[in-house]
Structure 1
Amino acid sequence: MSENATPDHLTLASFDAPSSAAARAALSLATQYHSPTLLNHVLRSWLWAEAFAIVEGRSDIDHELLYVAAVLHDIGLVPEFDNVFRSYEESGGHVAVALTRGAGWDEHRGQRALEVIVRHNWPAVDPDLDVEGYLLEIATGLDISGARPDALPASFIREVLDAYPRLDLAQEFGTGVVDQAARKPHTAAHRLVEGGVVRKLADHPLG
């Protein structure tokens, strides 16, 4: 992230992806297994999360952790990492544990990646409990449900959407989460479906 980024001057150039082994591996994995639509979604989610941190004046952020969690937060939706019982966010969190352990993270930091990914699907996250989890939750809330569409500068939102368009997100994510809810009704996917996520995707203010 650029040290000069301010709420009034947010652009894509304000943010640089971490160059660590874990960050590179996370992006490589997401690129290999996600469709272009879902890859754009996870990258937008990272950018929204970082932008929310600036707009809200949150500076004590583990940017590498946030990036890895954002890029991998939906990897549990793809067939190769789907889990027969566990929720897709928990499955994806364990993928992040394995990936980051291989990249040299210790057990505690790998657990943090799991926590952030799981908590992004909570109805709300207390930033005092988990600021990275909070940022990813509100970022995905914007990208999936259209929550707080006016909280970020309109020019920044347009630039991000031009670089990472939504493509078929409503169809792809909607189909994936409905399938998860049907097969695993005890998970957060069921709550999302019951909460009208398919309608929210269809009526999304960002298109």
Structure 2
Amino acid sequence: MKTIAGIQIPDSAMASQATELLREHGSELLYNHSLRVFLFAAHNGQQNKLQYDAELLYVSTMFHDLGLTPHYRSEDKRFEVDGANAARDFLRGYGVSPQALQLVWDTIALHTSPGIAEYKEPEVALLNYGAALDVIGKGYDQLPDSIREEIVRQFPRNDLKKKMIATFFDGFKHKPHTTYGSINADICACMMPDYQPKDYCELILHSPWAE
């Protein structure tokens, strides 16, 4: 195993194949982002002495944004669900238990769900933590500079702040309705001048109920 910032990167056949799928279907931006997310997540788990499955966390991280890519994205599902479904199909080929399949599915599907993910299993909470740290800097000051700098040196950010919004948007601009109720609706509002998100209050007031 390769060790970066004190964290071992899983190199089993399953982990290696997941990495290759990310390399094949993702971009350099998503590849570096995903490796940083895993390292941030694993470091947080190590710091807090959490018991988690490093291999399942790693595979989840490799797939967590693949739902944005042309190969994996659907026409009608949230990108997180596309990634979760792809990971579940992938893991079935390795005879993973139903419990582990569900854990990985939840880990990916909930990675953009603050206020929920952190109360789930360690793998779910850790992926949410790592993704939030890398994209919006949540918990940035709680990570030692030396750890952060080593991780970024190994997997550069490639102007993520300038490119990530467009990268997200490219993954679901053909299905903006799937962002309803999620943080991704903000990206549609940023990128689509005429975007009109659903209004939950309006849905309540105009429901088919008679009263």
What range describes the TM-score normalised by the shorter chain of this pair?
A: 0.7 to 0.9
Which residue number corresponds to residue 38 of structure 2?
46
Count residues with an aligned counterpart. 188
Which residue number corresponds to residue 12 of structure 2?
20
RMSD: 2.4
Question: If the length of structure 1 is used for normalisation, what is the TM-score?
Answer: 0.81
- In structure 2, C-alpha distance between the alignment counterparts of 1:82 and 1:12, rounded to whole Å: 31
Which residue number corresponds to residue 83 of structure 1?
74
Tell me: CA distance 1:195–1:53, structure 2 relative to 1, closer, same or farther (3 Å): farther
1:177 partnered with 2:190? no
- In structure 2, C-alpha distance between the alignment counterparts of 1:171 and 1:82, rounded to whole Å: 23
For 1:43-192, list aligned pairs within 5 A.
43-55=35-47, 57-125=48-116, 127-179=118-170, 180=172, 183-187=175-179, 188=182, 190-192=184-186
Question: If the length of structure 2 is used for normalisation, what is the TM-score?
Answer: 0.80
Q: Which stretches in structure 1 are left out of the alignment for 5+ residues?
A: 3-10, 198-207
Give per-residue Cα distances to partners, 1:125-164, cap 9 Å, x unaligned.
3545221111111110011111111111101101111110
User: Partner amino acid for 1:82?
Assistant: R
Q: Which stretches in structure 2 are left out of the alignment for 5+ residues?
A: 192-211
Which residue number corresponds to residue 29 of structure 1?
21
Q: Which moved more, 1:177-186 or 1:15-24?
A: 177-186
Higher relative contact order (CA 8 A, sep 6+): 1
Tell me: CA distance 1:146–1:21, structure 2 relative to 1, closer, same or farther (3 Å): same
Larger radius of gyration: 2
How much has 1:184 moved relative to structure 2? 2.6
